Amino acid sequence: MRRETVNLGTEYGAEYAGKYVFQELTWARRSRIIQKHTRYHPITGQVVSSDFIAIQAETIWASLKEQPQSKPITLEKLLGEENGVPIALGELFSRIANSLCAMTQEETAFLSAQSDADSRTQQSPASASAKSSDGPQQSSAGSQPEPSTSSPSSSTR
């Protein structure tokens, strides 16, 4: 498996200085990380939501094999909003992990964009009639049966 070593000085802060070794992940490990943080529509199979930050943080964490003895990088720190890693350092680690783990720009764009009606997911003929639940559907008047009630005005609007 491919490896990449990065020696950092104090450019990201003294606490992060040292040697970091990243290793390529297996396809199965990377796929499990993506699946863990992606929600699919139960009928259409379209991506409903994807936590790109969590996918990226876990990919970095899983590929990080060595770090300085002080262990400045943790999964919690990669996910942290208040006490996280510096942006530039996170971006550097992301680029390294993505290049080692063959995460393409198309995959990252797909994961970071929420699926909608123009999803890249191909619908099968059986699921084409299933409507998404992303808002009210437009329909012509009288195309759907009105519920019957005893009131004579129930069919007029």
Q: Is 145 exposed, middle or buried (0-12, 13-18, 19+ CB in 10 A)?
A: exposed
pLDDT (tens digit per residue) in 77-90:
999 988 999 999 99
Residue 102 confidence class, pLDDT cut points 50, 70, 90: confident
Name the residue with higher pLDDT: 146 or 101.
101
Edge-to-edge strand list for the sheet holding 3-8: 3-8, 18-23, 64-66
pLDDT at 51: 94
The yes-or-no verdict on residue 13 having pLDDT over 50 is: yes
CA–CA distance from 156 to each of 9, 62, 146, 148, 151 (Å)?
A: 75, 62, 10, 12, 10
The yes-or-no verdict on residue 43 having pLDDT over 90 is: yes
Question: Best-predicted range by mean pLDDT among 61-65, 109-113, 123-127, 138-142?
Answer: 61-65
Q: Work out the average pLDDT over 28-48.
A: 94
Tokens of 95: 């680029």
